[in-house]
Amino acid sequence: MKLKKIKLRNFRGYLADTEVSIDNMIVLVGKNDVGKSTILEALEIFFNNESIKVESADASISGDPRDVRITCFFDDLPSTLTIDARSETSLANEFLLNADGELEITKIINCSIKTPTVAVFVNANYPIAENYNDLHRLKNDALKARLTNLGITSEGIDLRSNVQIRNAIWLSQPTLERQMSLVSLEEEDGKKVCVKLKEELPIFVLFQSDRASKDDDSEVQDPMKIAVQEAIREVQEQLDDIKDLVQRKAQEVAQRTLDKLKEMSPDLAQELSPRFKAEPKWDSLFKLSLTDDNQIPINKRGSGTRRLILINFFRAEAERRKTERSTASVIYAIEEPETSQHPDNQRMLIEALIDLADKPSCQVIITTHVPSLAGLVPVNNLRFIKNSVAGKVVENRCNDATLEEIANQLGVLPDKRIQTLLCVEGPSDVTFFTEISKIYNAHNPTLPNLGSDKRVAILPLGGSTLKQWVDNHYSRNLRLPEVHVFDRDTNVPAKYQGAIDNVNARGDGSWGALTSKREIENYYHPDAIQEVFGVTIAFTDTDDVPEILSNTVNAEAVNSYKTLGSSRAKKVLSELVTPRMTIARINAIDTTNEIEGWLQQIASRLS
C-alpha cells in the first residue's frame, strides 16, 4: 500500500479541510511556524501515536474539539483480504473503497477530554438502504437472522462465514444504492478489517530535528527500530507459526486443567475457557543499538555525528532496496535533514533520499529551509504551505507564480555565472551529459565538465528542479544562448524537428540538434551495460534500448533487476552505466564523434 494523500480537519492550525498530495517524494516548504511539522506529526499520530501522541491541545482553537480528523488515502491496495479463515474477500467486495477506488481511512479524535479517544472509520461508497447498511457491525447470529428475515436462501453459503453471508445479502439486491458514508471499524467484522489493514499499512517513521536525545528515541535508535520492524515483517509467517504453536500448547495445558476441574466443580469449569488476551508484540522483544569502540552509545555523541549516521542509514537503505524487492512499504518523514551538517553532507543526503524515493515501496517526506537543499528538488515534488485570510493553504501543484514565491522565501537565487543553457528532454539526459562530459574533460580539458562548470546550467524541459527553474526564469531576461539536444526517436518527421528548427532560426547564438541515433540510450556501449546488469544485449541505432534491456533482464531474472521496467531502465542506465563509459567505448559506439560535437558547441559559447 502507498500513501496518496493526507487530509486534516480541525487539527491544530488546519481548521478547514486541507489536503496534501503525496508522491514517492515530497518536500514541504514555507515560512517558520506555518504548519510543515504539523503534517509530519499528524502522520505519526495516524500511523503510530507513539513518538508523538495526540493531546487535547491538538484541536483547533476555533473548531469543535470533539471532531478532530486525520484522513489518509491509499492506493496500490492488496488484492485480497482474509477476515475469517473460511472465506477470502477484498476491499472492493466489502464496499470499503471510496468513489475513486481508494482506501480512505479517517481517524476521528475527541480532544474535548483529558485523554483523547480515537475512533477509526473508512469513508466508503457504501450501501445505504436499511438492512444493507450495517452488516459490518453485526455478529454471526444477527447476520444469519438478517438472511432469514430477508427471505434469502442459505443454500451454498457457509453460515459460519460472515463474509459469505454479507455477500449473499448484498447480492440479493440488484439495485443496491450506495453513497459515501463513514463506516466504523470499531465493531465486529469492522474491527477485524481494521486489524488486517494495520498489517498492510506502510511502516511510518518520523525523524525530528529537535527531539531530545534518549537511549530509546534518537536519530540512531529510530533507524535501528525500522530495521527490526522490517525484519519482523519479512519473517512474519514463521513468527505466526511460532505463535500458533505456543498458543496451541498452552491451550492444551489449560484444557487439561479444566478437565480436572470438572471432576471437582463442574459449574465453575463450565464458566471458564482458555483464551489469549492479546497478540504478541514481537518488535518489543528486540532492541538494537550502536556503540563505538569505547562502548559509548552513538546517541550520546554530538548531534552532527548522530545526523551523519542517519544520512548513511538512508544511503544504506537506498542500496539495500536495489537488491531486495519484497521489503515492506516504508514512509520516511524527515524534518530539516540538513540540521548540523556540512553542505557537502546535505547534498549527499538529498541525493540519497531522492534515490531512496525512486525505489519500490518507498516514500519520502521532508521539510527544509535550506536554499541549496530545496534547489535540488524537482519542482513537481514541492508542496508550498502558507497562511491566508481563509486559513492554511497548501499548494500541491506549483505554477510559475508559486515557484517564484518559494524561491523568494527560501532565497534560492540564480547563479549569475551562467553563460549558456543546455536544454535536454528529461532527468536521465541530465545525468548522461554530466557524466559523459566528465569523461571527455579528463581526456580533453578544452571541453567542459558539466558537473562542475558553473557557466553551464542543464535544463530538463520535461521536468526540472527548483534551482533549474530559477536559473531558467533568470535566463529569460538575459537571453543567454542555448544548446538544445533532443532525441530523434522513430517518428517521421521527427517529433522535435520543428522545435530544433526554431532554435536554429533565433539568431541569438543558440543552436540545436537531434540525435542521429534513436535516443541517448543508443550511445551506451554494450560492455558497459553488461558490467552493470550482467546481461549482454545487441541493438541497432534505431532500437529501443531500455525496452530491450528490460525484457532481457526480466527474462533472465538477473540479480536485483529481475522486475526492471523500461522507465526504470532509463534511469539506471544514466546513473550506473554512463560512469562505466570510457573514451574507447564512446568512440566505438559513437563513430561520428557526435557527442564530442555537442560538447564543442557548448564550449564555443563559453568565455
First to last CA, the chain: 52
Q: 305 or 176, which is more confident?
A: 176
- C-alpha cell of residue 47: 500511523
Q: What is the pLDDT of residue 226?
A: 63
Three-class secondary structure of residue 301 per DSSP:
coil
* pLDDT averaged over every residue in the chain: 83
Sign of CA dihedral 289, 293, 295, 300: negative
CA geometry: angle 546, 317, 287, nearest 5 deg: 155
Return the HEC string of 396-412.
CCCCHHHHHHHHHHHCC
pLDDT digits (tens, 9 = 90+) for 318-375: 556 555 544 568 888 888 877 656 666 777 777 778 877 877 788 999 998 777 677 7
pLDDT digits (tens, 9 = 90+) for 136-185: 999 999 999 999 999 999 998 999 999 999 999 999 998 899 999 999 99
- C-alpha cell of residue 102: 481508494
pLDDT digits (tens, 9 = 90+) for 580-596: 999 999 999 999 999 99
Q: What is the pLDDT of residue 479?
A: 75
Tell me 573's DSSP state. I
Q: What is the pLDDT of residue 351?
A: 76
Model confidence at 298: pLDDT above 60: no
* Listed ranges 228-232, 326-330, 486-490; the one with the highest mean pLDDT: 486-490
- C-alpha cell of residue 428: 536521465
Model confidence at 80: pLDDT above 60: yes
- Judge if pTM exceeds 0.85: no
Domain ranges of the chain: 2-201, 235-285, 298-410, 420-603
Model confidence at 522: pLDDT above 60: yes
Model confidence at 559: pLDDT above 80: no
Crossing angle (nearest 10°) for helices 221-234 and 303-323: 20
- Band (pLDDT 50/70/90 cuts) for residue 311 is low
Peptide bond into 493 cis (omega under 30): yes
Three-class secondary structure of residue 83 per DSSP:
strand
pLDDT digits (tens, 9 = 90+) for 392-414: 999 998 888 888 888 888 777 66
- Band (pLDDT 50/70/90 cuts) for residue 606 is very high
- Band (pLDDT 50/70/90 cuts) for residue 214 is very low
Percentage with pLDDT > 70 across the chain: 80
Q: What is the pLDDT of residue 372?
A: 66
Model confidence at 220: pLDDT above 50: no
Q: 316 or 200, which is more confident?
A: 200
Give me the mean pLDDT over the 95-115 stretch: 95
Determine how many CB atoms are found less than 10 A away from the CB of residue 325.
Answer: 13
Residue that has been written with the C-alpha cell 537488491 in this structure: 323
Q: 445 or 317, which is more confident?
A: 445
Q: What is the pLDDT of residue 13?
A: 92
Q: 278 or 380, which is more confident?
A: 380
Q: What is the pLDDT of residue 223?
A: 59
User: Rg of the chain's alpha carbons, rounded to an integer?
Assistant: 29
- C-alpha cell of residue 371: 536554499
Q: Dihedral angle at the C-alpha atoms of 178, 182, 186, 192, nearest 10 degrees?
A: 50
Give the lowest-confidence range in 66-75, 201-210, 276-285: 276-285
Give me the mean pLDDT over the 466-495 stretch: 78
Q: What is the pLDDT of residue 218?
A: 43
Q: Dihedral angle at the C-alpha atoms of 50, 52, 54, 58, nearest 10 degrees?
A: -170
